[in-house]
Structures are given as structure tokens and as C-alpha cells.
């Protein structure tokens, strides 16, 4: 049986907007008797001001705590009784919720998301108990050296733009945020005119539209969302930070300011990353669960095959506004970080100066083409991609991605490399492990 991606790789969904401003995307996929429902909100950590960092993620947690018509102990069970799966996540540009189950559960899934949009409770006791859960999550992340380095490097690379804030928030804000802060934020952003509802699966479009109108049509539009509009100033010099903390492994991370998904340099830079660290997909939900092909990747050969690193990885994700392209290196035991850094920067300077070869371009395009198929290998992943790209830009950026990648030229990759990999635009982070049991911790910027 063909997968949905193989059957219709560039299929366009049916799109419409309800009177209250809710965007709706429906794509019929008959490969299995399943349906996936995602409800996306244009709200993430970039919408948070100082004092409220982490509020988007905290609201996501609260919106699983029951509604006016769904007791909190039944939220999970409604989908699980159909053998389905549910989840949600928050990142810098978006918050989203999903259910995937048999097609006969479609009405129940739509009911859940309409309740989540309009009728969450935010009981003070639930808000307080979730405070402890989220603070524990934050502290757990800070005990992961690689995750901590990523957080601190991002905060160093950005001086003004709210992309600098970790999605989970800063601890002092989590300690002082109130129930009114949370509920006010929920009511401000969880409105139909700030949302996109996506359905993909074995559904009839006309029937689905009728059920959507039934569940969502009566929800009132909110006032137009006022956005933070901060443009990050150009970085004019290399920035550095060093974290010295108990640990067993040394990490190196280099971040460069990178273009938004709609920028002409985005897809050429994606090809450059495939040449340097191996091709990844564009699905935040699933792409990184499968390791990229790295045997021919330049940085793998320069660092891993030479014994300087046990792992190397690149990350370039489509975002609404310019974010970061990061390269992460896990040093082998006994390898000084300055040695790994020297080799890494030498390779990056070389590709910035000389570009890539025609053979590398051909191979990167083939690998990316395969990864994009895996990005849409199920109704859940197709629905994710439609909603994700509609939230940060437009569905067309997703549906035209294969063609845009195929059209990239060597000159365009070279131009993207020169623009992105400027020494003055980079931020370099080290995690230097201290002996376990020393009780010492220090960071330097």
C-alpha cells in the first residue's frame, strides 16, 4: 500500500476560514481508516515579555486539566477509548494540540479542541501544582549539559529578540507568575482568529466542515492579537560563553544567525547543512527521531572519523522570524575543546570560502527528498506539517519545498554560506565538565 506521501506528495488541502476567523485545513487521505486533528495557535515563547517567560508552555500544560464540559480525569480517556493518541507542544512560534484515532472518533476530537479553545478552567490548585511540575522540568533540563548549553548559547546569541527566552521560561518568572497571569494569557491568545484547525485522514470534507461549524462556529472571535515587534540588531562580533559544571562529557556548540523560512537563503542553507552534518527533514515533530545519513558529511569526516568527537549534529528549523543555525559537537574523552573547535571552524571557513561541489549538491538534494517523504509518512505527520507551516508562514512553503530544494544551485548555496557563516555572526559555547562530586558550577560569557 502506498504511503500518503508517495500517493500525493504535493497534495494541497482544502482551506477555508470560518466567520469567527478560525482557519481550517482539511486533506483527505484514504490509506487507513484514521483521522488526525491538530489545533494550532500562533503563540509561543517569542510572544512573551520579561516577567512572563514560560507562560505559553505553562498554559499548554493547563489546557490538559479539564474544561467546563470535560472533567480533568476524562481528557485523556476520551481518545484512548478509541485506541488513539494525543499530545501537544509549545515552541518559539506556536502551541499545538493533537489527537489521532480511528475516523469514527472525529467528532470527539473536534469536541475536545473546541472545549480547549473556549472553556478551560485554570483552577488555582491546578495552577499551583503545575508550577512545581514545570520547575522540576526546568531543573531537569539544566542537569543535561547539552540542553543547558543550547539554552545559554541562544540567550547569548540574541540580545533583544524574544527568541532568546527558553520555551520553558526563566526560573524567577515561573516562581512569581499568578493564576491571573496564566488565565489572562489564555484568553488573549486562545481565540479562533489566532488558530488553525487541521484535519487529515479518511474523512469526507463536507461532513467534516459541518462538524467543525457545529463545534467551533459559536465561539466568539477575540480582539486582534497585539504582537511584540522586536528586530534583533545585527551582531557585530563573535560572542563566547563557557559553562563549567559537574559532568562527564565536554560539548561544543556554534550558533549562527539564520534566515526565516520564507527567506531566499533558507533552502540553500538547508542543503549546506545536509552537506556538513547530514540531511534532516523539516518536521519538528518527527524528523530528529531518525539519525541523518552522515558517512559522507564533511563535519562527520573531519571530527568523528578523526576521533575528535563522538557525535556531531546540525540544526536548522523553519521559523517565522530569523533564528539560529547551530552545530553541536560531543568531544571524545581527552579531546580539548579548543582542538575540536579549531577543526570545526576551519571546515566552516573552507565551505564559506569555496562552497560545495556538484556531487555534494546532488547527494544532498536526494537525501533531503527522501527525508521529506518520511516527514509526511502518516496522517499525523501530514497534519503536523500543514499546521506548522501555516502557523509560521503559509502552507505553500511546505507544499512547494520539494520543488524549491530541487531548484537550488551551487551559487545559491555559496551565497547562503557567505551570508550565514560570517565569523562576526557566530556565538561559540563550551561546556567544560568538572569532576563529579566537586560541587562546583560556573559560567563565563
Instruction: Give me the pLDDT at residue 76, please.
Output: 79
Closest by CA to 1, choosing from 384, 378, 367, is: 378
Residue 301: CATH number of its domain: 3.30.830.10
Query: Which residue range(s) make up the domain with 283?
Result: 239-444
Q: Looking at the structure, do residues 325 and 439 belong to the same domain, yes or no?
A: yes
- Sign of the Cα pseudo-torsion (80, 85, 91, 95, in order): negative
In percent, how much of the chain has pLDDT > 70?
Answer: 96
Q: Looking at the structure, do residues 153 and 283 belong to the same domain, yes or no?
A: no
Q: Is the pLDDT of residue 10 over 90?
A: no
Per DSSP, helices labelled H in 355-409 are: 358-375, 379-392, 395-399, 401-407
DSSP strand E in 75-194: where? 85-90, 95-102
Q: Is the pLDDT of residue 105 over 50?
A: yes
Q: Is the pLDDT of residue 123 over 90?
A: yes
Helix 358-375 and helix 410-420, axial crossing angle in degrees, nearest 10: 80
CA 74 to each of CA 4, 65, 114, 368: distance values in angstroms, whole numbers, following the listed order: 32, 9, 15, 41
Instruction: Give me the pLDDT at residue 159, please.
Output: 97
Instruction: Give me the pLDDT at residue 12, please.
Output: 79
Longest dimension (CA), the chain: 65
Q: DSSP letter at 395?
A: H
Question: Residue 112: is it exposed, middle or buried by C-beta count within 10 angstroms (0-12/13-18/19+)?
Answer: buried
Q: Is the pLDDT of residue 174 over 80?
A: yes
Q: Looking at the structure, do residues 149 and 278 belong to the same domain, yes or no?
A: no
Q: Is the pLDDT of residue 119 over 70?
A: yes
Given the C-alpha cell 508550577, which residue does it identify? 131
Q: Using an 8 Å Cβ cutoff, are 391 and 89 in contact?
A: no
Q: DSSP letter at 314?
A: E
Q: Looking at the structure, do residues 138 and 29 belong to the same domain, yes or no?
A: yes
Convert the pLDDT of each residue in 134-158 to its tens digit. Answer: 999 999 999 999 999 999 999 999 9
Closest by CA to 45, choosing from 151, 179, 203, is: 151
What is the pairing mode between strands 23-28 and 14-17?
Answer: antiparallel
Q: Looking at the structure, do residues 262 and 399 belong to the same domain, yes or no?
A: yes
Cell of 172: 524567577
Q: What is the mean pLDDT of residues 281-293?
A: 89
Neighbours of 348 (CB within 10 A): 22
Domain count, the chain: 2
DSSP letter string, 58-77: HHHHHTTS-BSSS-GGGHHH
Q: Looking at the structure, do residues 58 and 183 belong to the same domain, yes or no?
A: yes
Convert the pLDDT of each residue in 337-384 to its tens digit. Answer: 999 999 999 999 999 999 999 999 999 999 999 999 999 999 999 999
Question: Residue 362: is it exposed, middle or buried by C-beta count within 10 angstroms (0-12/13-18/19+)?
Answer: exposed
Q: Looking at the structure, do residues 408 and 302 belong to the same domain, yes or no?
A: yes
Q: Looking at the structure, do residues 299 and 413 belong to the same domain, yes or no?
A: yes
User: Alpha-carbon distance 194 to 198, whole Å?
Assistant: 14
Q: Is the pLDDT of residue 445 over 80?
A: no
Q: What is the mean pLDDT of residues 424-437?
A: 95
Convert the pLDDT of each residue in 211-260 to its tens digit. Answer: 999 999 999 999 999 898 999 999 999 999 999 999 999 999 999 999 99
Q: Looking at the structure, do residues 108 and 253 belong to the same domain, yes or no?
A: no
> Residue 4 — very low, low, confident or very high, per pLDDT cuts 50/70/90?
very low
Instruction: Give me the pLDDT at residue 439, please.
Output: 64
Q: Looking at the structure, do residues 184 and 262 belong to the same domain, yes or no?
A: no
Convert the pLDDT of each residue in 306-340 to its tens digit. Answer: 999 999 999 999 999 999 999 999 999 999 999 99
Q: Looking at the structure, do residues 201 and 254 belong to the same domain, yes or no?
A: no
Amino acid at each position: 500500500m502506498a504511503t500518503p506521501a508517495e500517493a500525493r506528495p504535493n497534495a494541497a488541502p482544502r482551506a477555508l476560514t470560518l466567520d469567527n476567523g478560525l482557519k481550517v485545513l482539511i486533506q483527505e487521505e484514504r490509506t487507513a481508516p484514521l483521522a488526525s486533528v491538530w489545533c494550532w495557535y500562533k503563540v509561543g515563547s517569542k510572544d512573551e515579555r520579561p516577567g512572563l517567560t514560560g507562560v505559553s508552555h505553562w498554559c499548554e500544560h493547563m489546557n490538559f486539566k479539564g474544561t467546563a464540559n470535560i472533567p480533568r480525569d476524562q481528557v485523556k480517556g476520551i481518545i484512548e477509548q478509541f485506541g488513539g493518541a494525543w499530545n501537544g507542544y509549545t515552541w518559539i512560534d506556536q502551541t499545538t494540540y493533537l489527537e489521532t484515532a480511528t475516523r469514527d472518533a472525529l467528532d470527539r476530537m473536534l469536541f475536545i479542541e473546541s472545549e480547549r479553545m473556549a472553556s478551560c478552567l485554570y483552577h488555582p490548585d491546578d495552577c499551583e501544582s503545575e508550577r512545581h511540575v514545570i520547575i522540576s522540568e526546568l531543573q531537569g533540563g539544566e542537569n543535561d549539559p547539552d540542553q543547558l548549553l543550547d539554552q545559554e548559547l541562544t540567550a547569548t546569541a540574541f540580545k533583544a529578540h524574544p527568541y532568546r527566552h527558553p520555551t520553558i521560561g526563566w526560573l524567577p518568572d515561573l516562581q512569581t507568575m499568578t493564576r491571573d497571569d496564566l488565565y489572562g494569557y489564555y484568553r488573549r491568545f486562545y481565540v479562533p482568529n489566532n488558530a488553525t484547525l487541521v484535519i487529515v485522514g479518511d474523512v469526507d470534507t463536507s461532513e467534516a466542515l459541518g462538524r467543525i461549524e457545529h463545534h467551533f462556529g459559536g465561539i466568539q472571535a477575540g480582539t486582534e492579537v497585539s504582537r511584540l515587534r522586536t528586530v534583533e540588531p545585527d551582531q557585530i562580533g563573535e560572542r563566547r560563553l563557557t559553562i563549567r559544571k559537574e559532568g562527564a562529557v565536554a560539548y561544543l556548540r556554534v550558533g549562527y544567525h539564520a534566515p526565516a523560512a520564507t527567506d531566499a537563503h533558507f533552502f540553500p542553507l538547508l542543503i549546506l547543512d545536509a552537506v556538513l552534518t547530514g540531511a534532516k527533514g523539516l518536521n519538528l515533530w518527527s524528523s530528529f527521531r531518525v539519525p541523518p545519513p552522515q558517512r559522507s558529511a564533511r563535519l562527520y569526516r573531519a571530527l568523528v572519523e578523526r576521533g575528535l568527537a563522538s557525535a556531531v549534529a546540525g540544526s536548522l528549523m523553519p521559523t517565522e522570524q530569523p533564528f539560529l543555525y547551530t552545530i553541536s559537537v560531543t568531544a571524545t574523552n581527552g579531546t580539548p575543546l579548543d582542538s575540536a573547535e579549531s577543526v570545526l571552524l576551519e571546515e566552516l571557513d573552507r565551505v564559506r570560502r569555496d562552497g560545495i561541489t556538484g556531487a555534494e549538491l546532488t547527494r544532498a538534494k536526494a537525501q533531503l527528498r527522501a527525508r521529506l517523504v518520511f516527514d509526511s509518512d502518516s496522517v499525523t505527520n501530514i497534519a503536523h506539517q500543514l499546521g506548522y507551516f501555516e502557523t509560521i508562514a503559509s502552507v505553500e512553503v511546505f507544499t512547494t519545498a520539494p520543488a524549491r530544494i530541487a531548484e537550488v544551485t551551487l551559487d545559491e548555496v555559496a551565497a547562503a554560506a557567505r551570508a550565514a557563516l560570517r565569523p562576526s555572526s557566530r556565538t561559540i559555547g563550551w561546556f567544560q565538565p568538572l569532576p563529579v562530586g566537586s560541587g562546583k558550577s560556573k559560567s563565563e560569557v
